[in-house]
Structure 1
Amino acid sequence: MIRHMKSAVRLTSSALALTMASQVCAQEAQRPSTDLASGPAAVFELEEIVVTAQKRSERLSDVGMAITAATGDQLRLQNIRDVNGLVKIDPSFVVTESNYGAPVYSIRGINYNDFSLSASPTVSVYQDEVPYAYPALTKSATVDLQRVEVLKGPQGTLYGQNATGGAINYIAAKPTSSLSAGVDATYQSYNQVNLGGFLSGPLSDTVGGRIAFEVDRGGAYQWSQSRDGRLGDKEVYKGRATFQFDPSDNLAATLTFNGFRDKSENRPGQVFAFIPTRPQNIVNVPGLSDVTLAPHSNRATDWFTGVRPRLDQKFGQVSGRVEYGLNDDVTLTYLGSYQRYRQRDIAQPIGANVEQIIYNNGDVNSLFQELRLGGEVADQRLTWLVGANYARDRVREDQIQNSRGTTAVYAFYAATGLAQSSFANTGRNLSVSKAGFANLDFNLSEQVSIHAGGRYTWTDIDHGGCTRDVNGEAFAVTNILQQTLQSRAGINNFVPAVPGGCLTLGPGLTPIYLEQELNQGNFSWRAGVDFKPQAGTLLYATISKGYKAGSFPNITATTYSQLGPVGQESLLAYEAGVKSRMFGNFAEIDGSVFYYDYKDKQLAGRAVDPFGLFGVFNLLVNVPNSRVYGAEMGLKLRPATGTLVKMQGTYLNSRVQGDTPGYDGFGVATNLKGSSFPDAPKYSLLIDAQQDFAITEDLSGFVGANYRYRSGSLSAMATYNGFTSGAYSSPSTRLPAYGLLGFRVGVVSGDGRWNAQIFGENVTNKYYITKAQKFSDFVTRFTGTPATYGISVGHRF
């Protein structure tokens, strides 16, 4: 381990060396000359961001944890309009998507890629500290923002379970004391248009209001390989209304309504290898022999003729926050939220003109409540917080699959003339979570402070599910399979499957609707110490433990064993870091090293069909032991008037430890020992530079460039180096390294009321892959977006 830690240690040693160097000239730097203190210094000093990562307002540079924060203006400058765009500001953040299109978020290699709508994430998303139950619900979080905070490492103490990797907290812009309004519009390649705006102001002496909206349309950049057709148009509508009540000095309340409607076209992948599950059935599959491999183009794809992949999603939320000051030192806070989500999506992930279509229907009802009491004592040296919360999430999901375009469903075709071509994976999930928590921060002196906190969480999950018949073909095939398997086992226990009924075979090899429970508790905790050797410099060290709750899958299940739950996972994190402003506040470093001891990592795994008929099966598994260590470094510089340079780098080394038998994505038996984690590149880098300059007294300009680099990584657990099986061979499904270059050029009015810019992203049109996996008979890859250019304008009234 020591040998592997060298890169991490060197990175943070550089940060510490810079910090110590800054101390040598600190006193001179803190006594700027008269010329520097008036005018020019204000131009190129670094901006200070106030965050609420610890559920109270603090300067980012004073918080002893790894956080990336950006203001709403900074997000607009970089054309970041959704959670996926956070990859532009944090190199440790990775976004991919599940097989059916749901987003999967990863911080420092910690993620969970499952197919189910009810799959709880390892990176939780919040808006004003109110959690979104599942990643699919987060699209409206990014409207009209004050800032965003990306918190790294386990956040279970203050933010609850299911945040083993970290948490993303969006802070919405609040009502203003005077009337104000704004509008922003963007037009970019492939006729994509984005329009957003807000209106804010007082409604009375004690009530303020703010409404905001955003519309995203167009952008179809994908083209069909088999015919004349384009795909990928967006049609997303988002909105928020916020009302703030301040009836007295000790009482404040906020009521917020959020919602979105998404009718975009769903993005397929690209076929780059053909490995049939049952080669003898190729002749039975319509159109399979006509499929061609995709070229190396970010735009190439395909989909089944007559059925366009699309999203049909609705989300609505009402949330409230009430703060009541019991006295000058104690505040009572209540948070509450109710969320409803509905989806009726059509997905065709394989990217071929064959009949493999997934109708993904789901409904979510989520209730969250939190009550906490916090304050300060001992002349504000001790800050304390105690509270409890309750969450109740109900999910109904039906994944209806038309798989006539795959060889596996023709297993009994020769004998019966029937294909098990259409079926539905049905899941009903009720999760109830209760927790109590406490946190203390104590300033031992002006230089040293300590932190400690803990949370106990109890979660009850009731689940029912099976794979069921939908068109009258599958139940007949299941009856034949049931008779065949019972005959092999020497038993006579035939229970016929019926049209529309369950097909999953239980312990007695008869169809069942499987009902299960999973009840688990855990204690998350965090302890740390901060040391400030001088003004503007913070050294910190923390130890924390977080948990992610167990869950049930919603997958195609021939046998009941596939529907077993995965148990909760835990992550013990050790971290040390430095934050420092140096050389007269014109440079800033933010570095850390960390080590994660990972137990029972949850994984969407695979196993070979024990019946020998359908290739490989999906199921959930726990990986007993694994670890991650690494380092991060951020550097901001103002080397000259109007110049700002930001550099951020992340080093990760993730490994499964100990013998861990399993199967790779092709159903080949393997040992996961030594495998790195999916979506955990060893090296990630962000560089952003901007030069501001005066054009006239009332007009200024800017020019900027950015570069993002990510080293190679795995798309799924296990080492996929390709293999040859008979006449079929597979290329590696590793994700190659890539780098993306962008630019922006714009103008801003002297009073800041209006701005305009021209921008480009992936301007070299780099072909890069974000995910690669075997789907049925194909190996499919998902690619990034091609080169795009655009113009945006904004005005504040």
Structure 2
Amino acid sequence: MAFDKSFFLASASISLMVPGAAFAQAASDGGHNGFGTGEIVVTANKREQKLSDVGVTATVISGDSLQQQGISSLEEVANHVPSLSYAAAPNGTPVYTLRGVGFYESSISAYPSVSIYVDEVPLPFPILSNHITFDIERLEVLKGPQGTLFGQNSTGGAINYIAAKPTDTFRAGGSLSYARFDQVDAEAFVSGPLGEKLKARLAGRVELGDAWQRSESRPGDRNGKTRNYMGRFLLAFEPSTSVRFLLTVNGWKDKSEPLAPQHIALQFQNEALGVPSGFPVGAFRPAQELEAPFSSLGPRDADWSTRSTLFDHKTPFADNDMLQASLRADIDVGDFGTLTSLTAYTKFNQRQGNDYDGLPINGLDAPLILGDIKTFTQELRFANDPRNPFRFVIGGNYEKDKVYQQLNTNFAESSAFIGYGTVFGTPITINTIDNNQAMRAYAFFGNVEYDVVDALTLKAGVRYTNARDRATTCQTDIQGPQYYLGNLFAVFSPLLGGPARGPYQPRECFALNLDPETFLPVVDYLPFAALGEYRDTLSEDNVSWRIGADFKASPDILLYANVSKGYKAGSYPVTAATTFGQAVPAKQESVFAVEGGIKSSLLDRRLQLNVAGFYYDYRDKQLRTKLNDPTFGQLDVLRNIPKSSIKGVEVELTARPSDRLTVNAAYTFLDAKVDRFVGTNAGGETGIDFAGTPIPYTPRHQVSVGFNYDQPLSGDLVLFSGASINHRSGTIATLGGNTNPSTVFAKAVPCVYCIDGYTTIDAQLGIRDESQGWRAFVWGKNIGNEYYWTNVAAGYDTVARFVGRPTSYGVTVGYSFR
């Protein structure tokens, strides 16, 4: 869909918060109160406050707005919140980038740069957040480093889900939706007292749908079935007015078919010679891969493998589940303050397969990925009475994580299979990576606010964090001797100066102890170039801090300024590697941020205008990039980018010209670029100076405009309507991705690693009964059937893109019992 530039200029001049009308209203409003009767609430300082009184930039989305707009995932939230971007790694691991700060890493053990919480209880790894957007009171997106109160790994910001709580009286309700592709979504809750001091809430959601992607090689074959099941149970116990407990159990099961990509380009080591990546000169490429056509590039077009060598099941597939139990205790200490304890245990199991290349053959697939996460967290803090002019929070927390992941990759029909089979007599097909990580972190923090006078508040916070990560990585070949990939390394090891040895043994770890760029050993417990298991411990500590001031120029105008520094923990990659040089971790990154803004309520609170400007000094950004391996050519490696910088402006506007109409608009401008880094691009070209290159997954312009309109009919019937237009300008999926490397061949794609700008339109129209509690409405998402994609990834010989969903439309009915 074309998007006129004049629209951008107009939007930029009036811009502010996206959502639909209720987006910025507290759930207690129901999203339908008269303007100004409800307050937007946020817990940025670990207590509930009016958003207009808090000197931070945040977007708050009410649960009613999430339901009305059919938003059921953080991917959809990202489409509606400027400055928040979403990308799916090839294995489905979500990647969130906020204001240009994010960590693109596909392994489930990777800590994020944007932390996710449910009622302040952390979901430490992004994969855990896949199915928690249901039965929500509100959703808070806190922008900028939040390290003092929300811990490390929140350098970009923090996203906090506030779950709907048990009610004092009996309530129940539910909704049922039917949509395109036979999608059926059902959600329900029941809530109320179980006794004088005990109350509970039980909620669940089921998502069932047919496949929507069409195979380009097998007419009639489909991918993308939806089979998701979610549940949440809350039990609130209040033995006295000064003691409160809340037990929460969250869980979900995902048996959906992961997204299949579109094959858009081939990679060659030398375009002039036509030598595929990692191919010995003189070898040849499989005829079937050369003949596989590029994708037709429609919103539903894709391709995938039906079966995989040694793994007799369809790819893609998934069978993943998550369970979290948490206990919150709040104990009032007289009138002085409140002691809060948050204890949580989370368990995640993964069993899935993903297609990486968008081909009907096994050019590069992950037919089986196994994973297991076990995490325990404990936070203890004390906060004094928030009515005190001097307010403080002090505390500490502890986290222990154990993560295991096994990644099986299949390249049986890639250049590697025939090439190495011809030259070395080893037609390699399967590579198995086993990674174990044991992480431990503890922290102590404090935050203070002081009202110098009624109009001026000074703020400061600090957190000390100590983290340790013990990792082991072993790469093996699980096939018979004629296929052993390890045979190559058993031969290479003594040739490179390693110890003399015999043939490769099944399940032996075969990566070589050397760095292919420096040609030096990486660890000291093995001889140079010896085969073995990579073991390492990463120990780091840091001090996050924040200072700021809030000034109430008038009851309706808040000026604020903040200076802060936050850290994200170092990380070990989980990737196919031939040497230990690819297994070394990236060290911790940091963001130094300066931000100032204004929040204003004008025209008797019928116009809300917020403006914020910020600058980030981004040091040691962790980024997946490429390494030229002497055996296989281009392989992934995790690097630190020495210096980057981000400058930005956010403008947000909410206008209510009448009690029936609310208009929202938001605009974010980001200038995010690398200042200093020399490395290898996605095509394997070395020595590239990336200074001035845009940071991946960071659109320069992001715009959202929406409205909600209510029209009373007869009695308690109300006709309601809403729509939103969301636009993202183009970005890139890898460093230097705005130009094609000379090693890439594509027919219909002028910029292989570009993520083009796109515009989506959503709308709703329906009727509700204010007294009877029922509603019915029709809705549409991506009404213009915009063809867009959120990620581009390189395989062994191929490049593939991952697209967004096409037009979806449906009808929803709901009822609430009181």
Tell me, yes or no, if structure 1 residue 543 matches structure 2 residue 552: no
CA shift at 1:289, angstroms? 3.5
The two structures have a TM-score, normalised by structure 2, of 0.90
Find out whether 1:772 has 2:779 as its counterpart: no
Which residue matches 2:28?
none
The one of 366, 373, 392 aligned to 2:400: 392
Going from structure 1 to structure 2, the CA distance change for 1:431 and 1:309 (only over 3 Å counts) comes to same
Contact 1:661-1:672 at 8 Å conserved across structures: yes
Could you tell me how far 1:496 is from its partner in structure 2? 4.2
Alignment counterpart, residue 123 of structure 1, candidates 114, 119, 132: 114
> Which amino acid letter does the alignment assign opposite residue 657 of structure 1?
D
The alignment partner of 2:102 has SS state of coil
Q: Distance in 2 between matches of 1:718 and 1:589?
A: 37
Structure 2 residue 808 is the aligned partner of structure 1 residue 788: yes
Structure 1: stretches of 5+ with no match in the other structure? 1-7, 17-40
Shift of 1:349: 2.2
SS in 2 for 1:43: coil
Task: State whether structure 2 residue 70 is matched by structure 1 residue 103.
Answer: no
Asked whether the 8 Å contact 1:664–1:720 carries over to 2, the reply is no
Aligned to 1:312: 319
Distance of aligned partners of 1:219 and 1:540 in 2 relative to their CA distance in 1, 3 Å threshold: farther
Counterpart contact for 1:11–1:633, Cα < 8 Å: no
Q: 1:239 corresponds to which residue? A: 231
2:470 aligned to which of 436, 453, 462? 462
Matched residues in 2 for 1:544 and 1:208: separation? 40
The 2-side partners of 1:621 and 1:42 are apart by 51
Q: Is the Cα contact below 8 Å between 2:619 and 2:643 reproduced in 1?
A: yes
* 8 Å Cα contact 1:91/1:684 also seen in 2: yes
Q: Which residue of 2 aligns with 1:25?
A: none
- In structure 2, distance between residues paired with 1:710 and 1:685: 7
Alpha-carbon distance change, 146 to 641 in structure 1, aligned in 2, over 3 angstroms: closer
Q: Show CA shifts across 1:611-635 (max 9, x none).
A: 2x31211111100111001000110
- The one of 634, 652, 661 equivalent to 2:678 is 661
Distance in 2, matches of 1:514 and 1:145, equals 43
Alignment of 1:37-76 (within 5 A): 43-45=34-36, 47-76=38-67
Measure how far apart 1:376 and its partner are: 3.1
Deviation (angstroms), 1:720: 3.6
Query: Structure 2 CA distance, aligned partners of 1:499 and 1:514?
Result: 17
- Find the counterpart in structure 1 of residue 20 from structure 2: none
Structure 2 residue 447 is matched with structure 1 residue 436 = no
Counterparts of 1:506-545 in structure 2 under 5 Å?
506=513, 507=521, 508-545=528-565
Residue type matched to 2:374 in 1?
Answer: N
1:145 CA drift (Å): 0.8
- Taking structure 1 as reference, are residues 282 and 587 closer, same or farther at Cα in structure 2, changes over 3 Å only? farther
Confirm whether residue 674 of structure 1 aligns to residue 692 of structure 2: yes
SS of alignment partner, residue 141 of structure 1: coil
Equivalent position to 1:183, from 174, 179, 192: 174
Aligned to 2:277: 277
Residue 371 of structure 2 aligns with which residue?
362
Q: Deviation of residue 513 (structure 1)?
A: 0.5
Q: 2:660 aligns with which of 623, 638, 642?
A: 642
Structure 2 Cα separation of the partners of residues 726 and 553 of structure 1: 25
The aligned length equals: 761
Would the alpha carbon gap of residues 485 and 314 (structure 1) be closer, same or farther in structure 2, given more than 3 Å must change? same
Q: 1:52 to 1:474 in 2, by over 3 A?
A: farther
Report the alpha carbon displacement of residue 423 of structure 1 after superposing the two structures with TM: 1.5
Give the Å deviation of 1:71. Answer: 1.1
- In the other structure, the counterpart of 1:559 is 579
Distance 2:321 2:164 in 1: 23
Q: Distance in 2 between matches of 1:172 and 1:455?
A: 27
Q: How far does residue 287 in structure 1 lie from its aligned partner after superposition?
A: 3.4
Q: Is contact 1:186-1:791 (8 Å) kept?
A: yes
1:547-696 to 2 correspondences below 5 Å: 547-609=567-629, 611=630, 613-658=631-676, 660-669=677-686, 670-696=688-714
Tell me the SS of whatever aligns to 1:86: helix
Which deviates the most, 674-683 or 83-92? Answer: 83-92
Shift of 1:384: 0.7
Change (3 A) 1:723 1:140: closer
Q: Which amino acid aligns with 2:253?
A: R
- In the other structure, the counterpart of 1:248 is 240
| Aligned 8 A contact 1:260 1:315 in 2 | yes
**Contact 1:504 1:560 survives alignment (8 Å):** yes
Q: Which segment is superposed worse, 203-212 or 74-83?
A: 74-83
Partner SS state of residue 74, structure 1: helix
Structure 1 Cα separation of the partners of residues 297 and 12 of structure 2: 39
> Aligned pair in 2 of structure 1 residues 573, 10: CA closer, same or farther (>3 Å)?
farther
Preserved contact between residue 475 and residue 501 of structure 1 (Cα < 8 Å): no
Letter in 2 for 1:333: T
Q: Does 1:479 align with 2:487?
A: yes
The 3 A distance-change label for structure 1 pair 188 and 553 is same
Match of 1:759 among 758, 761, 779: 779
Higher mean C-alpha displacement, 516-525 vs 399-408: 399-408
**CA apart distance, 1:494:** 2.6
TM-aligned CA deviation for residue 304 of structure 1? 1.0
Task: Write the mapping of 1:295-334 to structure 2, written as runs, cut at 5 A.
Answer: 295-306=296-307, 307-334=314-341
Q: Deviations over 1:387-441 (max 9, x none)?
A: 0100000001100112112213444211443222101111000000000000001
**CA shift in 2, pair 1:693/1:468, >3 Å:** same
CA distance in 1, matches of 2:56, 2:114: 16
**Residue 293 of structure 2: SS of its match in structure 1?**
coil
Cα drift, residue 296 of structure 1: 2.4
What amino acid is the match of 1:753?
A: G
Corresponding letter in the other structure for 2:326: S
Q: Secondary structure at the match of 2:132?
A: helix
Counterpart Cα distance in 2 of 1:380 and 1:752: 43
- Cα distance between partner residues in 1 of 2:326 and 2:43: 18
Distance 1:331 1:345 in 2: 44
In the other structure, the counterpart of 2:409 is 401
Amino acid at match of 2:565: K
Match of 1:351 in 2: 358
1:571 and 1:587 mapped to 2: Cα distance? 33
1:207-226 alignment, distance < 5 Å = 207-226=198-217
Q: Which stretch of the first structure deviates more once superposed, 474-483 or 438-447?
A: 474-483
Equivalent residue letter for 1:650: T
AA partner of residue 42 (structure 2): V
Q: Tell me the amino acid that sits aligned with residue 227 of structure 2.
A: E
Q: Aligned partners of 2:335 and 2:549: how far apart in 1? A: 27
Distance 1:726 1:536 in 2: 56
Aligned residues of 1:9 and 1:593 also touching (Cα < 8 A): no
Work out the CA distance in 2 between the residues paired with 1:625 and 1:341.
Answer: 35
Matched residues in 2 for 1:242 and 1:567: separation?
A: 39
Sequence identity percentage: 34
TM-score, structure 1 as length reference: 0.92
Q: What is the distance in 2 between the residues matched to 1:323 and 1:552?
A: 37
Per-residue Cα deviation, 1:89-146 (whole angstroms, up to 9, x for no partner): 3111111011211000111111111121101000010000000020111134322111
Q: CA 1:723–1:657 in 2, change beyond 3 Å: closer, same or farther? A: closer
1:219–1:233 Cα contact (<8 Å) kept: yes
Q: Distance in 2 between matches of 1:42 and 1:771?
A: 40
- Distance between the aligned counterparts of 2:704 and 2:482, measured in 1? 51
Change (3 A) 1:12 1:761: closer
